[in-house]
Amino acid sequence: MAGHTGASPFLVSPSTGRAMTPSASYGGGEDGKPAAGDAGAAFVLESKGTWWHAGFHLTTAMVGPTVLTLPYALRGMGWALGLAALTAVAAVTFYTYYLMSRVLDHREAAGRRHIRFRELAADVLGSGWVFYAVVTVQTAINAGITIGSILIAGNCLQIMYESLAPNGTLKLYHFIIIVAVVLSLFSQMPSFHSLRYINLGSLVLAFGYTILISGACIRAGMMSNAPVKDYSLSPSKSGKMYDAFLSISILATVFGNGILPEIQATLAPPAAGKMVKALVLCYTVVFFTFYLSAISGYWAFGNKVQSNALQSLMPDSGPSLAPTWLLGLAVVLVLLQLLAIALVYSQVAYEIMEKGSADAGHGRFSWRNLAPRVALRTLYVAACAFVAAALPFFGDIVGVVGALGFIPLDFVLPVVMYNMALAPPKRSAVYVINVAIMALFTGVGIIGAIASVRKLVLDAGQFKLFSDHVIS
């Protein structure tokens, strides 16, 4: 594309206007290896993977139980607008992730391979505050998803327990503790790359529960006593507007990633071109799981669909609308995948910990590095589990974090960085499209955050610390 200067040995700093050589790179040297003494890069973000490994990581980061909220997203916009919005957000995110990969490839070609989102953004945008802003937003997203994964996994165990022992005495926090113990053990896997086969399993699990729950929704919609299908929207204009923007906020969160540079860091250098193949693999899975879940759930329940399709199949009153064995198997598959998702989104935190506590001069499994790794990662999981148990209404909070976090990181920053790093002509289609995406999704993020805060306020009456029930 116009403006591509990847073959140049020098780059111009946006902040100083002076040329920068490859030795000034944040992420590493010309060979793609981490800078000496960078234990976070050497141990957690080791670059040994193939494009399909990156595809497994991307799929786990994007295709999770949140796909079961897609019927609810359609509920806020109806068939035509809902499917159009789903398709538009899918296309825009594929495009912005592709642009971010191009920026990373461009920097690598110039001898400046970046392996962290925060350092890429600070380098391209040329401002120290950007580094800390990205760290803050990315950390909030990653911790929020880890907390949410622990909470919902605990809730899955609780559902299975209550179906087997309706009068049992165990509470939600007991199951959260069980999940935290298991997660803390798996968290000792040393690197992002070491999760590649777990994330392949996560991909298979996503296919499994999507097919099961979508099939159950279709079956429920065809039953003689099926709920009446009503696809009408809110009668008030303000209600329609808030529902629509809440739906867009849900879509942005479902398609959110926030860790693409860290995933690309796991690729063996040179990484150029490999991430596009990984994105194609990921979005092949996205297309099947997202559309199947959205269409089947909304078709079956209409505007009565719950915030999670699984809840629609298990109404509070009356019998379940799917066989018990199917619901139980789906819950087990969701539970297992939540552990993989929590592991993926913990990697940025672990990389930060490792960079500050480990010594790259010693072996990865030396006592010098093993002791702080075990202690810090266990403490991190324990802290996330405590928040999950204390705030079982965390889903509403994550909605706000998603609007304020995923949209800047996944929709706005990639197009801004592309325009600055590769400098396409201002009258070119690429530049104009990028500016339009930036303007549109900045507005969507603000309004989506307002809609999410509104839902938080409306649900506030149900909130109770250490409640035994998850507020959805």
CB 463 within 8 A of CB 385: no
Residue 279: pLDDT band by 50, 70, 90 thresholds? very high
pLDDT at 250: 83
Span 399-404, mean pLDDT? Answer: 70
What is the rounded distance in angstroms from the CA atom of residue 394 to the CA atom of residue 456? 10
Tell me the backbone φ, ψ of residue 268, rounded to 5 degrees. -65, 130
Q: Convert the pLDDT of each residue in 182-201 to its tens digit.
A: 999 999 999 999 999 999 99
Q: What is the mean pLDDT of the chain?
A: 86
Indicate whether 460 pLDDT > 90: no
Span 244-252, mean pLDDT? Answer: 83
What token pair was written down for 281? 């693999």
Span 7-31, mean pLDDT? Answer: 38
Span 379-393, mean pLDDT? Answer: 90
Find the angle CA(179)-CA(386)-CA(395) to the nearest 5 degrees. 80
CATH fold for the domain made of 52-462: Amino acid/polyamine transporter I (1.20.1740)
What is the rounded distance in angstroms from the CA atom of residue 422 to the CA atom of residue 418? 6
DSSP collapsed to 3 states, 311-377:
HHHCCCCCCCCCCHHHHHHHHHHHHHHHHHHHHHHHHHHHHHHHHHHCCCCCCCCCHHHHHHHHHHH
Q: Which one-letter amino acid corresponds to residue 381?
A: V
What is the distance of C-alpha 108 from the center of its chain? Answer: 25
pTM of the model: 0.88
CB atoms within 10 A of CB 203: 22
Task: Select the more confidently predicted residue: 272 or 230.
Answer: 230
SS3 397: helix
Helix (H) or strand (E) holding 19: strand 19-20
Residue 407: pLDDT band by 50, 70, 90 thresholds? confident
Indicate whether 357 pLDDT > 50: yes
SS3 408: helix
pLDDT at 237: 85
What is the rounded distance in angstroms from the CA atom of residue 55 to the CA atom of residue 63? 11
pLDDT at 14: 37
Name beta bridge partners: 267. Answer: 49
Indicate whether 22 pLDDT > 50: no
Name beta bridge partners: 78. Answer: none
pLDDT at 19: 36
Indicate whether 242 pLDDT > 70: yes
The share of the chain scoring above pLDDT 70, in percent, equals 89
Helix (H) or strand (E) holding 12: strand 11-12
pLDDT at 36: 55
Cβ contacts of 467 within 8 Å, gap of 6 or more: 172, 392, 393
Q: Domain residue spans in the chain?
A: 52-462
pLDDT at 11: 32
Q: Is the link from the previous residue into 408 a cis peptide, with omega within 30 of 0?
A: no
SS3 266: coil
Helix then strand count (H, E) for the chain reads 17, 2
SS3 391: coil
Using a 10 angstrom Cβ sphere, with 0-12 exposed, 13-18 middle and 19 or more buried, the burial of residue 94 is: middle
What is the rounded distance in angstroms from the CA atom of residue 34 to the CA atom of residue 26? 9
What token pair was written down for 268? 């063996």
Q: Convert the pLDDT of each residue in 59-100 to its tens digit.
A: 999 999 999 999 999 999 999 999 999 999 999 999 999 999
Residue 292: pLDDT band by 50, 70, 90 thresholds? very high
What is the rounded distance in angstroms from the CA atom of residue 115 to the CA atom of residue 41? 8
